[in-house]
């Protein structure tokens, strides 16, 4: 009986690009490096189906079996990202079409249209045959659907082929029933834009000055096409295999993580961070672990550098240590590198790896082995605890991301950068780390929720659910730039907010979009900086309270932050009309959180990411240094470090080396 338990530690492996007789040597090296998992098949369609309808699974069977014998687990991937040349040239109608009507040619990857019927037929066959072929392989621990599914287009508009056009029109027809409804939802009465028929909907060319609602809908349909494509493969796999199915996704929100993973079993996540932005993986981990009840997997990350035809960056000593432990401490149970052995040709021949093209260990071999040993040592902790929920949450929405793409609303607004840099990071730096939730996530487990930069709170019924949650005692920090757009990216017509004026006594007067910085002044007289972004001017009536006001120019005397009590269970809505400067934001949230009895993990320097885990294994405190600087933290309880077996006392100040890691079990 094959027995591999998490943590899974391994790499992507492409035996199809090498001589078959090299597999033994590769496995020998893997074992030497301490790897227990490989991810295979990802791009090997031409190997498994070398000609139309001719299937050959001999290489994959051989590799899987040799891995089995070596005690190495396998994540089996469907190779649909890379249709073979016999398909792309004979059936060119499957290829992605750009906004100018040109089909992609053979030569790249993710170049077939997710909506192509012919392509779907071929995918159906290869996935079905693979599922049947490998269903009984005991060391296959999971499947991966395709690779980094996304609307693959240099133009950022997905595929514009006739099948996609037809689908877009069908979806619009289903959604709106009449073209008048569509015109009314988008406000097409500007510029005589209204359509008379769904068939008139155009291709989203960049050289046409297009309507933001139209562009939003187009990209949402494209995104959903990838969900369907993934589900279509998952449905096949679920018929034949009993292990979890996932799809490896990159850290951006072009595809909705909630939607994409709804029918899948495990979150698979690829990222290539360097020391300048590794902290951002704390954010993603805090998001990913809430998507499924089971731990998420890092399916791809760099061992030492990212790259293609040239390396694009270079990790400092021990960067790899923090890079692996950070997501593990925050909820992952797998780390797989891209890639095992450097390619000897092709578009990515200069990417970082574990061994170079000649099977010689890379410079980071020592770190790899150290990690392997550490993960083994921490296995019980990883499997026997989970990050705790401190009842603080913040929202992070795919719909918002997409909406801002086509209407930034304030000059140069970058949704992802704003949410991570300005909302999350200041809190992380004071060790007050929220769970990050998609728009559809349940709210019951939280006492306090921050909803910033979410133009539409009707997404997935959130508006109903959150008001109910507030009435039941929740503290909701809402804004800036939230509840100001319908699901299709238009403004509400009767009021600036969809709901907030109904729910509170706060009256919106006007907005100054920024440019100049206007400070705000708290009720106690403290004056703090903001970030020159979107100044809503409020006035308050009734029982609502002004928490902070403006004092300058047009804004003088208007409220910037207000609080309204809701219901009789302590619920309240705190409206934030502008973005505070990072430290002010952290203090503001820390105070409100304290009122909700939500506390930071511990005291630590801002370059350290700390966490708490709990479970049958016991209580665990974790700390990872992520900025290649020295740091420090205060030990929250008497504990010993799982990695070094050293003991520490509660309240002790511990110094951290660059990229250092602590896993402290409570005594």
Please report, as residue ranges, which positions from 425 to 464 form the binding site for a copy of itself (by CB under 8 A): none
Question: How many residues in the shown chain lie near a copy of itself by CB under 8 A?
Answer: 108
Residue 420 to residue 453: CA distance in whole angstroms: 11
- CA distances, 151 to each of 97, 111, 144 (Å): 11, 9, 18
Residues in 556-615 that interact with a copy of itself by CB under 8 A: none
Burial class for 192, CB neighbours closer than 10 Å (0-12, 13-18, 19+): exposed
From 193, 214, 191, select the one nearest 204 (Cα to Cα): 214
CB under 8 A: which stretch of 225-233, 404-412, 423-431, 625-633 binds a copy of itself?
Answer: 404-412
Minimum Å distance from CB 260 to a copy of itself? 23
The residues that bridge with 449 in the sheet, in sequence order, are 393, 476
Minimum Å distance from CB 63 to a copy of itself? 14
Nearest CB to a copy of itself, comparing residues 84 and 434: 84
Residues in 486-545 that interact with a copy of itself by CB under 8 A: 489-496, 508-516, 537
Residue 642 to residue 311: CA distance in whole angstroms: 35
No. of helices (H) and no. of strands (E), the chain: 19, 28
Residues in 129-168 that interact with a copy of itself by CB under 8 A: 154
Nearest CB to a copy of itself, comparing residues 187 and 563: 187
Nearest CB to a copy of itself, comparing residues 165 and 291: 165
Residue 547 to residue 559: CA distance in whole angstroms: 8
Please tell me the chain's helix, strand, coil percentages from 3-state DSSP, rounded to the nearest 5: 35, 20, 45
Minimum Å distance from CB 102 to a copy of itself? 7
Our finding on whether 104 is near a copy of itself (CB under 8 A) is yes
Our finding on whether 106 is near a copy of itself (CB under 8 A) is yes
Residues in 271-290 that interact with a copy of itself by CB under 8 A: none
Minimum Å distance from CB 369 to a copy of itself? 14
Nearest CB to a copy of itself, comparing residues 294 and 517: 517
DSSP string across 321-380? HHHHHHHHHTTEEEEEES-SB--SSSTTTT---SB-TTSPBPTTHHHHHHHHHHHHHTHH
Residue selected from 5, 363, 527, 583 as contacting a copy of itself according to rule CB under 8 A: 363
| Residue 132 φ/ψ, nearest 5 degrees | -65, -45
Our finding on whether 333 is near a copy of itself (CB under 8 A) is no
Minimum Å distance from CB 65 to a copy of itself? 21
Residue selected from 9, 340, 413, 648 as contacting a copy of itself according to rule CB under 8 A: 413
Residues in 176-195 that interact with a copy of itself by CB under 8 A: 186-195
Our finding on whether 402 is near a copy of itself (CB under 8 A) is no
- CA distances, 378 to each of 144, 192, 293, 450 (Å): 26, 64, 21, 33
**Contact status, residue 145 vs residue 247, Cβ threshold 8 Å:** yes
Residue selected from 305, 446, 476, 662 as contacting a copy of itself according to rule CB under 8 A: 305
Nearest CB to a copy of itself, comparing residues 99 and 268: 99
Residues in 194-213 that interact with a copy of itself by CB under 8 A: 194-196, 199-200, 202-203, 205, 207-213
Nearest CB to a copy of itself, comparing residues 438 and 489: 489
Minimum Å distance from CB 516 to a copy of itself? 7
Residue 542 to residue 534: CA distance in whole angstroms: 25
Nearest CB to a copy of itself, comparing residues 355 and 596: 355
Find the helix packing angle between 23-33 and 365-377, rounded to 10°.
60
Our finding on whether 28 is near a copy of itself (CB under 8 A) is no
CB under 8 A: which stretch of 256-264, 294-302, 342-350, 654-662 binds a copy of itself?
Answer: 342-350
Minimum Å distance from CB 210 to a copy of itself? 5
From 392, 253, 269, 262, select the one nearest 326 (Cα to Cα): 269
From 300, 364, 311, select the one nearest 338 (Cα to Cα): 300
Nearest CB to a copy of itself, comparing residues 1 and 154: 154
Residue selected from 35, 364, 452, 576 as contacting a copy of itself according to rule CB under 8 A: 364
Sequence-distant (6+) residues with CB within 8 A of 276 are none
Minimum Å distance from CB 222 to a copy of itself? 17
Nearest CB to a copy of itself, comparing residues 426 and 455: 455
CB under 8 A: which stretch of 60-68, 227-235, 309-317, 374-382 binds a copy of itself?
Answer: 309-317
Our finding on whether 311 is near a copy of itself (CB under 8 A) is yes
Minimum Å distance from CB 42 to a copy of itself? 9
E-strand ranges in 432-501 read 435-437, 448-451, 475-478
Nearest CB to a copy of itself, comparing residues 6 and 15: 15
Residue 507 to residue 564: CA distance in whole angstroms: 12
Residue 361 to residue 67: CA distance in whole angstroms: 20
Residue 116 to residue 96: CA distance in whole angstroms: 9
The residues that bridge with 507 in the sheet, in sequence order, are 539
Residue 645, number of CB atoms within 10 A of its CB: 8
Nearest CB to a copy of itself, comparing residues 168 and 214: 214
**Secondary element (H or E) of residue 306:** none
Residue selected from 11, 33, 40, 44 as contacting a copy of itself according to rule CB under 8 A: 44
Minimum Å distance from CB 81 to a copy of itself? 8
Tokens, residue 67: 């891995």
CB under 8 A: which stretch of 28-36, 351-359, 618-626, 634-642 binds a copy of itself?
Answer: 351-359
From 53, 50, 79, 59, select the one nearest 18 (Cα to Cα): 59
Burial class for 210, CB neighbours closer than 10 Å (0-12, 13-18, 19+): middle
Residue selected from 3, 54, 107, 645 as contacting a copy of itself according to rule CB under 8 A: 107
Residues in 71-90 that interact with a copy of itself by CB under 8 A: 79, 82-86, 89
Minimum Å distance from CB 565 to a copy of itself? 25
Minimum Å distance from CB 129 to a copy of itself? 15
Our finding on whether 214 is near a copy of itself (CB under 8 A) is yes
CB under 8 A: which stretch of 264-272, 321-329, 394-402, 551-559 binds a copy of itself?
Answer: 551-559
**Contact status, residue 135 vs residue 238, Cβ threshold 8 Å:** no
Residues in 46-65 that interact with a copy of itself by CB under 8 A: 46-47, 51
């Amino acid at each position: 009986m094959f027995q591999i338990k998490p943590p899974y530690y391994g790499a992507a492996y492409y035996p199809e690009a090498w001589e078959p007789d090299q597999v033994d040597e590769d496995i020998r090296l893997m074992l030497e490096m301490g790897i227990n998992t490989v991810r295979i098949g990802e791009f090997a369609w031409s190997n498994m189906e070398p000609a139309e309808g001719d299937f050959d699974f001999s290489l994959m069977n051989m590799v899987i079996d040799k891995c089995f014998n070596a005690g190495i687990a396998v994540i089996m991937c469907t190779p649909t990202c890379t249709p073979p040349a016999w398909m792309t040239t004979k059936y060119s109608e499957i290829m992605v079409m750009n906004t100018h009507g040109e089909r992609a040619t053979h030569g790249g990857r993710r170049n077939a249209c997710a909506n192509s019927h012919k392509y779907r037929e071929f995918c159906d066959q290869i996935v079905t045959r693979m599922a049947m072929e490998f269903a009984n392989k005991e060391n296959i621990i999971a499947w991966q659907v395709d690779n980094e599914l996304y609307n693959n287009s240099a133009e950022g508009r997905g595929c514009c082929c006739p099948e996609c056009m037809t689908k877009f029109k069908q979806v619009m027809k289903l959604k709106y029933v009449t073209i008048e409804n569509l015109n009314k939802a988008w406000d097409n009465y500007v510029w005589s834009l209204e359509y008379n028929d769904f068939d008139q909907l155009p291709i989203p060319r960049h050289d046409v000055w297009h309507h933001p609602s139209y562009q939003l809908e187009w990209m949402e349909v494209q995104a959903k096409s990838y969900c369907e494509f993934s589900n279509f493969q998952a449905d096949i796999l679920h018929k034949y295999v009993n292990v979890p199915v996932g799809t490896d996704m990159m850290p951006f929100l072009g595809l909705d993580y909630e939607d994409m993973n709804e029918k899948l079993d495990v979150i698979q996540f690829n990222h290539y961070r360097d020391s300048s932005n590794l902290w951002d993986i704390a954010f993603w981990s805090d998001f990913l672990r809430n998507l499924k009840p089971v731990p998420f997997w890092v399916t791809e990350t760099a061992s030492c550098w990212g790259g293609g035809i040239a390396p694009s960056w270079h990790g400092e000593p021990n960067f790899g240590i923090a890079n692996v432990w950070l997501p593990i401490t925050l909820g992952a149970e797998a780390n797989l590198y891209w890639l095992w052995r450097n390619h000897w040709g092709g578009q990515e021949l200069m990417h970082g790896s574990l061994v170079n093209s000649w099977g010689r260990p890379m410079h980071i071999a020592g770190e790899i082995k150290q990690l392997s040993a550490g993960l083994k040592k921490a296995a019980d902790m990883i499997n026997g605890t989970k990050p705790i929920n401190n009842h603080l949450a913040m929202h992070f929405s795919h719909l918002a991301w997409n909406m801002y793409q086509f209407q930034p609303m304030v000059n140069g607004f970058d949704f992802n950068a704003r949410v991570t840099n300005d909302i999350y990071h200041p809190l992380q730096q004071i060790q007050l780390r929220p769970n990050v939730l998609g728009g559809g996530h349940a709210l019951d487990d939280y006492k306090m929720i921050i909803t910033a930069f979410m133009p539409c709170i009707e997404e997935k019924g959130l508006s109903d659910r959150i008001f109910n949650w507030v009435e039941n005692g929740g503290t909701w920090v809402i804004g800036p730039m939230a509840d100001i757009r319908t699901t299709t990216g238009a403004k509400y017509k009767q009021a600036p907010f969809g709901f907030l004026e109904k729910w509170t006594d706060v009256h919106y007067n006007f907005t100054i979009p920024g440019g100049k910085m206007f400070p705000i002044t708290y009720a106690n007289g403290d004056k703090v900086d903001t970030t020159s972004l979107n100044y809503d001017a409020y006035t308050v009536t009734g029982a609502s309270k002004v928490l902070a006001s403006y004092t300058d120019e047009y804004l003088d005397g208007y409220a910037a932050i207000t609080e309204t009590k809701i219901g009789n269970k302590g619920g309240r809505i705190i409206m934030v009309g502008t973005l505070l400067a990072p430290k002010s934001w952290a203090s503001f949230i820390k105070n409100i959180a304290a009122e909700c009895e939500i506390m930071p993990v511990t005291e630590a320097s801002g370059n350290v990411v700390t966490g708490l885990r709990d479970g049958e294994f016991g209580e665990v405190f974790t700390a990872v240094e992520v900025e290649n600087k020295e740091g420090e933290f205060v030990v929250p309880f008497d504990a010993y470090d799982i990695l070094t077996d050293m003991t520490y006392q509660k309240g002790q100040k511990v110094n951290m080396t660059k990229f250092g890691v602590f896993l402290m079990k409570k005594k």
